[in-house]
Structure 1
Amino acid sequence: MAEYVAIDPRKIAPAPHSLTMVEAISLLAGGTTSLTALRDYAAIKPGERLLVRGASGGVGSVAEIGKLFGAHVTALAGAKNLDFVRGLGADKVLDYRTTPLAQLGTFDVIVDTAGAQQSHFRSLLTPGGRMVAVTIDINRPLAGLATILASTIHGSRRIRVFSGSPDTALLTELTRYAENGDIAPVVDTVHSLDNIADAHRALEAGGVRGKHVIRIG
């Protein structure tokens, strides 16, 4: 975190006029990641079934933009966040702790912000289905990487990963969605720079709704 940072001019765009600066900044990482995952890597189509893992977090809560692309959205979240995620527009919301994998059904696209058990969730993909992994299993990173690599060799159910690098065009598109009311910012907590350790502790504790924002100045 820093008070000042140098930015490539090809990676900036005007913020949405309809949002405060705190709301606007909360959309950046999750919004650009979700757009890139669903549109560019999953190439989601109208009528496809989308599963979002970790649906209450910063990326997951915006991944419901799958609805904008005409998808049917099933969201997995913790029990205390089910009503919250339902309010974001998901068609079906389930508790990830108590819902057996076998009861989820099959999906054309899975956006995974959780990382664990990727091989098990890959089995839920339809032939030709696509999983976009925003993270890997931090407790078993080598196994997670092996699962992703194996998916590129064996079978048609690919797991795709990417490193986000939003440019002006992507940020401008996100602004348009926000100003049209298609995407709403979700701010969990605003922290001062002096209390940044509290933000990290909150993230590590889990159960985040949207984004934690650091206010500088």
Structure 2
Amino acid sequence: MRVAILRASVHHGCMRAVVYERYGSPDELELREVPRPDPGADDVVVEVVAASVNLSDWEGLRGDPAYARMAGPVRPSAGRRILGTDVAGRVAAVGANVTDFTVGDEVFGDIMPRYGTFAEYVAAPAASVVRIPRGLTFAQAAALPQAAAIATYAVSLARPGDRLLFNGAGGGSGSLAVQLAVAKGVHVTAVDNAGKLDFLRRLGADEVIDYRRDDFTRRGPFDVIVDVVARRSIFAYRRALAPGGRCVVVGGTTRAVLRMLTVGALLGVVSGTRLGVLIVHQVPAAFLPVAEQVARGELAIPIDGRYSLDAVPEALARHGRGEALGKVVVAVRDDPRGGPPLEPDRR
């Protein structure tokens, strides 16, 4: 699958970006020339070197679950037609109120609730980005912000000796959470499809479960359950928890998330367990410590593949099929910090 390229006359102030105007499959994506963004007073414009794919991008493309249609109930609004929130690149312009960055600084971050990093340039709140630690490539930096923040918050719920189960462990946040939890002395059960189980064992997981063959809610008990693809009932989660245990969901169906917010809170009061939604503040303080660990060689950030800008549909499709081992990266420009070249079939 290759993105359709719509060409227009090139002039100053234009850039290439992957755009979609309707919810649906990766076939809705088109590589277009669009106006380059200007910085707001508190923004920096980042010349994108690399971005990465998150579950929020796949959900935003499809408009499913329902909460993914915040960009517009029927179709994405005019200002939300470029996906991507994780970014690494160079500062190309700064807003009037920005004093922490200058043009040329190498930065990375998660610009959510904004989108737009699947493009050559993106306007980002200056507070959402931070300088890239020495020792990280742009691809590694782009793969970290959202995944590292989720992993950090998730692992903070467990204490040394606890039994933690992570459902959806083979993706970006899960692959980091497994490593962080093991290093903390937590017993980790990692759940994903069969194609990822060996990968999860290599990351240090104590036990692995293929969710297609084994219902993890009938295992345990677990002190902490983290589910990034929640689809099960509140009572199934409760069954798998130890007394006083905690279960949080990060993503999943609208029904599962709403029930966790309502019935889950009530059930927790009655049963002595805690069930809810993991609220993640995706700010530099949440992901920079993990990035520094990766830069020092203490953690790995598994990168499944690097795709060029015109191969974004392929990148999203691989992520959406649940095939990626770790993070899928979009390489918008050559990485001056190094890293492997793009694979021939991903240019």
Band of TM-score, shorter chain: 0.7 to 0.9
The correspondence for 2:284, drawn from 159, 168, 171, is: 168
Contact 1:136/1:145 (<8 A) preserved: no
Alignment of 1:116-155 (within 5 A): 116-119=231-234, 120-137=236-253, 141-155=254-268
Tell me, in whole angstroms, the C-alpha distance in 2 between the residues paired with 1:208 and 1:122: 29
Q: Deviations over 1:137-182 (max 9, x none)?
A: 2xxx235412432111123322232453322322331223213333
Deviates more, 1:55-64 or 1:11-20: 11-20
Cα deviation, residue 7, structure 1: 2.5
1:28/1:144 Cα in 2 relative to 1: closer, same or farther (>3 Å)? closer
- The structure whose Rg is larger is 2
TM-score w.r.t. the length of structure 1 is 0.87
**Alpha-carbon deviations, 1:34-71, whole Å to 9, x = none?**
102222xx2x2111110011111111111111122221
| Separation in 2, partners of 1:102, 1:169 | 33
1:207 aligns with 2:323: yes
**Range with greater deviation from structure 2 (116-125 or 28-37):** 116-125
- Answering whether residue 175 of structure 2 is matched by residue 58 of structure 1, we say no
Q: Is the 8 A contact 1:107 1:124 kept in 2?
A: yes
**Once the 2 structures are TM-superposed, how far is the Cα of residue 133 of structure 1 from its aligned partner?**
0.8
Tell me how large the CA RMSD over aligned residues is: 2.0
Percent identical pairs in the alignment equals: 35
Query: Which consecutive unaligned segments of at least 5 residues does structure 2 have?
Result: 1-117, 334-347
Equivalent in 121, 129, 140 of residue 12 of structure 1: 129
Q: What is the rounded CA distance, in whole Å, between the counterparts of 2:267 and 2:238 in structure 1?
A: 12
CA distance in 1, matches of 2:121, 2:275: 37
Alignment-mate amino acid for residue 290 of structure 2: L
Between the two proteins, the alignment pairs up a number of residues equal to 211
1:73 to 188, 199, 205: 188
Select the structure that is richer in strand. Answer: 2
Whose helix fraction is larger, Structure 1's or Structure 2's? 1
Which aligned pairs between 1:83-94 and structure 2 lie closer than 5 A?
83-94=198-209
Q: Name 1:98's counterpart in structure 2.
A: 213
Normalising by structure 2, report the TM-score. 0.57
Q: Which runs of 4+ in 1 moved over 6 A?
A: none
1:45 has 2:159 as partner: yes
Where in structure 1 are there 5+ consecutive unaligned residues?
Answer: none
